[in-house]
Structure 1
Amino acid sequence: MTSEHSAPGETSRLAVAKTCKLYLGGAFPRSESGRVYPVRGADGALLANAALASRKDVRDAVAAARKAFPGWAGATAYNRGQVLFRIAEVLEGRRAQFAAEVAAAEGIGADAAGRAVDASIDRVVWFAGWTDKISTVLGGANPVAGPYFSFSVPEPTGVVGVLAPQESSLLGLVSVLAPVLATGCTAVVITSAERPLPAVALAEVLATSDVPAGAANLLTGLAAELGPWLASHADVNALDLTGADPELRPELERAAAGTVTRVLRAPRGEPDWTAAPGLERLRACTELKTVWHPIGT
């Protein structure tokens, strides 16, 4: 008997099953709870067992993101753009793997999955190009009456909690993660619960793409369980509710209000992730610092 891993005449062998872990602080730990849950493809077939993150994992991820924030926010815009472009390069090199992951997760054909991967790569490149333009476009000089000049400069807001889209396992994920990194913020992302495997593969790309440890943290698990802990965490500065269920959103907004966390509300309906992105997510991850200075001194 032969298999796809055996040459004619050789005995068959089992494929090496993938061990899915969290991506936290630049490492790949199992959930501290030891829990896992089955991940099934669109056809119902068992694909893998994914780590089921816990409250402690959320706390550890936020701590890692906070620790990484000064270094990542202090990097030059050029450097951040190069790191994002490196992510796109590695994605390009693993295109076939990601296309297979997306096809299995979303139940779409090979051509459609390939287009989704290509769009994901292009999306990362698009945000990479924005890193050195954010200050110019979102900031500016302010008109004042008097011997002063005044200007506003966008700065990264800090640690951003992200509930990733549930349906778009890769393109939606990179569309919400890339702007966080482009602005100099650090991210804690709760991935799609039913379709986490493309996110697990993306974590491997992040780990080999010069992204500083802790700048991006990906947790697999249930948004209903993890979302409230992320939203109420006092060290989270902004919260993206894109992937939250409509029933869960009010609870998360109330939890975020308790720590005065900025909230990017989820769009109505399922977003069209293939559409060209705008500046909304970049704005949501920045805060304006306005400086006044006397003229002539």
Structure 2
Amino acid sequence: MAGSGPRVAVLKTYKLYVGGKFPRSESGRVYEVTDVEGNWLATAPRASRKDARDAVVAARKAFGGWSGATAYNRGQVLYRVAEMLEGRRDQFVREVADAEGLSGARAAGVVDATIDRWVWYAGWTDKIAQVTGGANPVAGPYFNLSSPEPTGVVAVLAPQESSFLGLVSVLAPVIATGNTAVVVASERAPLPALSLAEVLATSDVPGGVVNVLSGGTAEIAAPLAAHQDVNAIDLAGADERLAKELEVAAADNLKRVLRPQPVDYFATPGTDRMTAFLETKTVWHPTGSLGASGSSY
């Protein structure tokens, strides 16, 4: 009879997030996640190379629709994510406090900064084109216009120590500009990233736009860096040795590579992480001949 005895604790089951769904690791492997003092927090899935390849397929499938959406629409979708993060603020405060060994007050400050950061990037979706694009002066009777376009599928190695604010600081600029992402969560503290995936799944972000994998950073990153259908990689969560190895693998298909660098994630970000994964399309059009077709390079 309900209420007749002590409750059985319902422990949360964390899963990967691939293509808008929550699969267990293809290999069936898991690993224990502990707090900074070594106390058990949860069991997280340990993604395999097959999981990484599945995530790339999902990201590629979602790229056309996401990159083809209007910048205004992307901004609205991302703002909705911020609304939902606000609604689950207490959960993220607990997870960040456990993951990073912070007091409740400091963890709350991190979560508030993270939600603000998401809103900040949501506001840039329909403004970055004006900053990075424009009309170019040319010697001839032509209009010459440059505009930014997303690079494609971006592998994102989330920072190891900043499990939530750092994660959002490297993920949000990638998808705000129309790319899709395969995220490798912090190996030691993956729970905020896996919970963020639950928020994305119940928001308006289409499945496959963001895919979240947990497990060994080096193990997951290696197939992503070498994958021919990954267009770029952010090495924020790689140490110096791993970063060099991944750069070599990424060179095989000329991936854009953003190297790891010291970052104060609490500082107001510039536009560097948005422009890092943008291409520039330049269009020529004859002046005074609106019916003529232009050419682009």
**Fold-level match, TM-score > 0.5?**
yes
Aligned equivalent of 2:184: 190
Aligned equivalent of 1:212: 206
Aligned equivalent of 1:175: 169
Following the alignment from structure 2 to structure 1, what is the Cα–Cα distance between the partners of residues 15 and 186? 14
Instruction: Please tell me the residue identity of whatever aligns with 2:210.
Output: A
Aligned equivalent of 2:278: 286
Q: 1:37 aligns with which of 15, 31, 43?
A: 31
Displacement over 4 Å in runs of 4+: none
Q: Does 1:25 align with 2:19?
A: yes
Deviation at 1:259, TM superposition (A): 1.0
RMSD of aligned residue pairs (Cα, Å): 1.1
Instruction: Please tell me the residue identity of whatever aligns with 1:59.
Output: R
Q: 1:265 aligns with which of 259, 267, 273?
A: 259
Q: Does 1:199 align with 2:166?
A: no
Q: 2:150 aligns with which of 153, 156, 166?
A: 156
Aligned equivalent of 1:275: 267
Aligned equivalent of 1:100: 94
Aligned equivalent of 1:240: 234
Q: SS in structure 2 opposite 1:247?
A: helix
Q: 1:54 aligns with which of 42, 48, 51?
A: 48
Following the alignment from structure 1 to structure 2, what is the Cα–Cα distance between the partners of residues 284 and 256? 15
Deviation at 1:183, TM superposition (A): 0.3
5 Å-filtered alignment, 1:59-70, equals: 59-70=53-64
Aligned equivalent of 2:293: none
Q: SS in structure 1 opposite 2:22?
A: coil
- 1:26-56 Cα distance to aligned partner (Å, 9 max, x none): 0000000000000001121101110000000
Following the alignment from structure 1 to structure 2, what is the Cα–Cα distance between the partners of residues 107 and 12? 30
Aligned equivalent of 1:77: 71
Deviation at 1:200, TM superposition (A): 1.0
Instruction: Please tell me the residue identity of whatever aligns with 1:15.
Output: A
Following the alignment from structure 1 to structure 2, what is the Cα–Cα distance between the partners of residues 205 and 172? 17
Q: Determine what percentage of the aligned residue pairs are the same residue.
A: 66
Q: SS in structure 2 opposite 1:37?
A: strand
Deviation at 1:11, TM superposition (A): 3.2
Instruction: Please tell me the residue identity of whatever aligns with 1:272.
Output: D
5 Å-filtered alignment, 1:127-146, equals: 127-146=121-140
Following the alignment from structure 1 to structure 2, what is the Cα–Cα distance between the partners of residues 116 and 230? 29
Following the alignment from structure 1 to structure 2, what is the Cα–Cα distance between the partners of residues 145 and 80? 37
Instruction: Please tell me the residue identity of whatever aligns with 2:183.
Output: V
- 1:69-112 Cα distance to aligned partner (Å, 9 max, x none): 00000001111001110110000000001000100111100000
Q: SS in structure 1 opposite 2:240?
A: coil
Following the alignment from structure 1 to structure 2, what is the Cα–Cα distance between the partners of residues 246 and 220? 20
Deviation at 1:12, TM superposition (A): 2.2
Deviation at 1:14, TM superposition (A): 2.7
Aligned equivalent of 2:109: 115
Q: SS in structure 2 opposite 1:167?
A: coil
Aligned equivalent of 1:3: none
Following the alignment from structure 1 to structure 2, what is the Cα–Cα distance between the partners of residues 191 and 245? 14
Q: Does 1:255 align with 2:249?
A: yes
Deviation at 1:228, TM superposition (A): 1.1
Q: SS in structure 1 opposite 2:241?
A: coil
Following the alignment from structure 1 to structure 2, what is the Cα–Cα distance between the partners of residues 82 and 40? 36
- 1:260-279 Cα distance to aligned partner (Å, 9 max, x none): 11101111x4x211011111
Following the alignment from structure 2 to structure 1, what is the Cα–Cα distance between the partners of residues 133 and 55? 31
Following the alignment from structure 1 to structure 2, what is the Cα–Cα distance between the partners of residues 293 and 22? 47
Aligned equivalent of 2:218: 224
Q: SS in structure 2 opposite 1:175?
A: helix
Following the alignment from structure 2 to structure 1, what is the Cα–Cα distance between the partners of residues 77 and 239? 32
Number of residue equivalences? 288
Instruction: Give ranges in structure 2 of 5+ residues lacking alignment.
Output: 290-297
